[in-house]
Amino acid sequence: MPSSLELSVVVPTFNEAANVRELLARLQAVLGESGWEAVFVDDDSPDETAALVRSIARIDPRVRCVQRVGRRGLSSACIEGMLASGAPYIAVMDADLQHDEAVLPRMLEQLKLGSADLVVGTRYSQGGSTGDWDRQRAGMSRLATRVGQWVLRQDVSDPMSGFFMLRREVLDASVRRLSGLGFKILLDILASAPPGLRVAEVPFTFRSRYAGESKLDELVVWEYGMLLADKTVGRYVPVRFLAFAIVGGLGVFVHMAALTLFLKGFGLGFTVAQSAATATAMVFNFAVNNILTYRDRRLTGWAWWRGLASFMLACSVGALANVGIASYLFESATTWFLAALAGVLVGAVWNYVITQLYTWGRKDRAA
């Protein structure tokens, strides 16, 4: 009789078809024939990673696929995979074979012995290494690690690691406080878990990618910043609203620059120039919010144009609300500054709520 399910290995994927079979072969080599499962969470990969995983799952009951359509994000994929798993112990690792599967038995042993609630695969303790990283990448990683340690205020050498194992009870106790933002799910869990979490570490050497291309891009710094913001001020202000407001602030500068150009450069009348500048700022705000604030719900193709239309309509109504509230308060003997500030806040909240529901809340995000 096969042994009972003991370990779930959650693997988030996007365009990782070339790595799936090799990863499963290596997992079997270190974990044996039974007692474990691999849960692949695929963000609708164009290379049909999900289809490959399902074809393997038809003949291998240890393999399962969770395919997500219309949303992306490594952390949120890990959360869904962990919730869909069935074992009392859960590991998270990348599909690119950069994480050393050979240390999984050691991580599991520490959890089973009861000496830890979560075990981190670390690159920064004795015996660990970042492999062949260049000085710039290694330096940026260490800086991000120090910032993460400061936010956590825990003695964890590698809170940026994407390779770890935990008891299911840890997930159950923290899942409702997880933000699911960005790509650093371990940092999210460490910051969300109740006090008293016992953390152990197992060193490993970070390897080169087996096949395919890295999914990290120039926006990882922004995503990391949003995660840190959520863990520090997220209880007071939704981090998406904070990002939305930052983009809106930048839009003010774009509006003024465009107004100057239309007035002074093109010689247009003020009303026409103001209208053109307003439209320019709206397009800027929509485009940047689509890239940053709603990175996990990014609109593409025709959905981008439909989103732009709904965004401009919502913001037009928000502008009317801004002026109406401010005018009413000013006429009610409120100082002009407070009246204007109230109008801005009402308009910003309206724009944020409505566009979140109707611009980036639609199911058809690509066309």
Q: pLDDT tens digits for 281-328?
A: 889 999 999 988 888 788 888 999 999 999 999 888 877 776 677 677
- pTM score of the predicted model: 0.75
Q: What is the pLDDT of residue 366?
A: 55
d(CA 241, CA 252) in angstroms, rounded, equals: 17
Which residues, given as ranges, of the chain have pLDDT below 70?
Answer: 1-3, 153, 215-219, 322-323, 326, 330, 333-334, 336-337, 340-341, 343-344, 362-367
DSSP states along 15-66: S-HHHHHHHHHHHHHHH-SSSEEEEEEE---TT-HHHHHHHHHTT-TTEEEE
Q: What is the pLDDT of residue 322?
A: 66
Q: What is the pLDDT of residue 218?
A: 61
Q: What is the CATH number of domain 7-213?
A: 3.90.550.10
Q: What is the pLDDT of residue 156?
A: 86
Domain ranges of the chain: 7-213, 239-358
Q: What is the pLDDT of residue 364?
A: 58
Q: What is the pLDDT of residue 1?
A: 41
Within 8 A by CB and 6+ apart from 182, the residues are 73, 74, 75, 220, 223, 224, 226, 227
